[in-house]
């Protein structure tokens, strides 16, 4: 039976002052979890809470409406599901961990929100996910990270700094950024991760004026395409949250985290929409020069926020097959080696 539980994870040892806890949600179906559990830790994009992966009010896959005939294998001809990706993946056998970034969803906001630069948010994300997974009591799980849009940048940074995941899923993210939306000062640090890190807070202050800006951009036609069904629009509105402006801006600057992407040496699934804002899909693998195994899946007809795309089940099925079938097989002979975190701590 599908289960969804919410919890708060203490992160005050790694978070900026004033932020003690991160909100997480676990979605799983113990009856369908494979012998070796596969955990997918999910991080949303800018201006959204982790509810983007659990869009409410528009239907969901359940055990009475299974997404797959058996864990890791799609059921041909199955009817189009609702918009709840987490339930769909859990019905297929994945243990899904949804993590709210600091200052979004139910997570705490630090006393100084300008402390929420990408590396800090990524560090806290990694700690919260690791502690949430540890609390599940699973035996020898395969732990994977998934990020959408800005969340893709953050999960890549977390992997480069702490190596918590055996593989990554990057949705709507390539490393290209969104240069068409940038001004001269922002473009001046493109391609230079060191300068981008040093200046991103000041650049965000100049552009937005605030570290946290309320956002409802998730339903823009540029991101969802024309003719979005009312149920999908309502569901997206329900996950709208504050944009962490230093992180959002960093994800738009080309090459702002080029060094982090280059350091990734675990398998990666890149999932892009045909009409994505992440640039030409065929260029995306080139941003991962150190990755030994890159899989690219392009969802035809879709736009950036692909969880409301008509063909979303195709992408979700690809995630399941990549995570359960491919990763468990690969990890019989391949495991990422641990590396020290940026501040000398391992997150457990």
Bridge partner residues of 214 (DSSP): 242
How large is the average pLDDT for residues 9-16?
98
Residue 250 has pLDDT above 90, yes or no: yes
The CATH number of residue 223's host domain is 3.40.50.1820
Residue 84 lies in a domain: yes
Residue 337 lies in a domain: no
Residue 152 lies in a domain: yes
pLDDT band at 78 (very low <50, low <70, confident <90, very high): very low
How large is the average pLDDT for residues 73-90?
71
| Among 185, 305, 204, CA closest to 250 | 204
Residue 343 CA to residue 274 CA, distance in Å, equals 39
pLDDT band at 64 (very low <50, low <70, confident <90, very high): very low
- Give percent of the chain above pLDDT 70: 87
pLDDT (0 to 100) of residue 166: 97
For the segment 145-181, what is each residue's pLDDT rounded down to a tens digit? 999 999 999 999 999 999 999 999 999 999 999 999 9
pTM above 0.75, yes or no: yes
Residue 131 has pLDDT above 60, yes or no: yes
pLDDT (0 to 100) of residue 303: 96
Domain count, the chain: 1
Residue 248 lies in a domain: yes
Residue 134 lies in a domain: yes
Backbone dihedral angles phi then psi of residue 147, each to the nearest 5 degrees: -135, 140
Residue 343 has pLDDT above 70, yes or no: no
Residue 263 CA to residue 289 CA, distance in Å, equals 8
For the segment 175-214, what is each residue's pLDDT rounded down to a tens digit? 999 999 999 999 999 999 999 999 999 999 999 999 999 9
How large is the average pLDDT for residues 277-284?
95
Residue 333 has pLDDT above 50, yes or no: no
Residue 45 lies in a domain: yes
pLDDT (0 to 100) of residue 328: 63
Residue 329 has pLDDT above 80, yes or no: no
State the sign of the Cα–Cα–Cα–Cα dihedral 230, 44, 28, 34: positive
Only one residue has tokens 């919410």, namely 6
pLDDT (0 to 100) of residue 62: 36
Residue 341 lies in a domain: no
> How are strands ordered across the β-sheet holding 142-148?
3-10, 21-28, 95-99, 38-43, 142-148, 168-171, 268-275, 294-303
H or E segment and range at residue 295: strand 294-303
- Higher per-residue pLDDT: 56 or 128: 128
DSSP string computed for 133-173: HHTTT-SS-EEEEEEETHHHHHHHHHHHHH---S-EEEES-
Residue 339 lies in a domain: no
pLDDT band at 216 (very low <50, low <70, confident <90, very high): confident
Residue 71 lies in domain = 3-330
- Higher per-residue pLDDT: 169 or 216: 169
pLDDT (0 to 100) of residue 90: 97
CA distances from 38 to 41, 72, 89 (A): 10, 11, 11
| Among 95, 128, 72, CA closest to 26 | 95
Burial 183-194 (b: 16+ CB within 10 A, else e): eeebeebbebbe
DSSP string computed for 4-58: EEEEEEE-TTTSPTT--EEEEEEEE-TTT--SS-EEEEEE--TTB-GGGGG--SS
């Amino acid at each position: 039976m599908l289960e969804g539980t919410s919890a708060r994870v203490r992160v005050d040892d790694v978070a900026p002052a004033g932020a003690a806890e991160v909100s997480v949600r676990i979605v799983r179906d113990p009856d369908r979890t494979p012998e070796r559990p596969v955990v997918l830790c999910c991080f949303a994009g800018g201006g959204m809470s982790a509810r983007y992966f659990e869009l409410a009010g528009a239907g969901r896959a359940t055990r009475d409406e299974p997404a797959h005939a058996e864990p890791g294998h799609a059921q041909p001809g199955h009817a189009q599901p609702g918009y709840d990706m987490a339930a769909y993946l859990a019905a297929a056998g994945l243990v899904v961990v949804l993590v709210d970034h600091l200052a979004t969803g139910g997570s705490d906001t630090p006393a100084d929100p300008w402390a929420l630069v990408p590396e800090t948010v990524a560090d806290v994300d990694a700690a919260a996910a690791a502690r949430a997974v540890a609390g599940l009591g699973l035996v020898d799980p395969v732990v994977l990270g998934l990020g959408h849009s800005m969340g893709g940048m953050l999960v890549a940074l977390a992997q480069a700094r702490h190596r918590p995941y055996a593989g990554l899923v990057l949705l709507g993210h390539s490393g290209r950024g969104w240069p068409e939306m940038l001004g001269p000062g922002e473009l001046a640090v493109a391609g230079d991760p060191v300068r981008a890190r040093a200046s991103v807070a000041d650049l965000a202050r100049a552009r937005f004026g605030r570290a946290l800006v309320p956002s409802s951009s998730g339903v823009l036609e540029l991101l969802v395409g024309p003719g979005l069904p009312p149920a999908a629009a309502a569901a997206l509105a329900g996950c709208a949250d504050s944009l962490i402006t230093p992180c959002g801006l960093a994800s738009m600057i080309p090459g702002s985290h080029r060094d982090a992407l280059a350091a990734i040496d675990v398998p990666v699934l890149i999932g892009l929409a045909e009409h994505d804002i992440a640039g030409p899909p065929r260029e995306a693998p080139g941003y991962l020069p150190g990755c030994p195994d890159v899989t690219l899946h392009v969802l035809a007809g879709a736009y950036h926020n692909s969880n409301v795309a008509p063909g979303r089940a195709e992408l979700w099925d690809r995630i399941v097959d990549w995570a359960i079938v491919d990763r468990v097989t690969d990890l019989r002979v391949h495991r990422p080696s641990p590396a020290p975190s940026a501040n000398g701590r391992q997150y457990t």
